[in-house]
Amino acid sequence: MTITIYGIKSCSTMKKAFTKLDDLDVSYDFHDYKKQGIDKETVQRWVNELGIEKVLNKRGTTWRKLDDSQKQAADASVDSAIDLLVENTSMIKRPIVEGQSADKDQAVILCGFDESEFDKVFS
């Protein structure tokens, strides 16, 4: 089973996710969207599957540094929020994991690190 894990290499939550996947002997490709960027179609797919509330991290410093008009635009329009996420990848909640479940019967998309969820999906 190969999955892709999206995030930023230096993030402590990402490190937990890498360790967990390694412990579960799950092979993965890593996409560092800080270095590689991310396309709008991918972010749109995540938002369609998970919802903007889950994908957009409003707790980080990048969100707090936005001016009020940018925050209001993101709150008023999902399209504006997606554009902001593409421009400011640090505002995407980490990690996002896409691939197949352990039994390969089901597509998987996870957002954020929840150890029990990783165990359930990848064991």
Which residues are known to be catalytic? 11
Q: Beta strand pairing status for 107-111 and 96-100? A: antiparallel
Phi, psi of 18 (to 5 degrees): -60, -45
Phi, psi of 59 (to 5 degrees): -95, -10
Question: Contact at 8 Å (CB) between 3 and 100?
Answer: yes
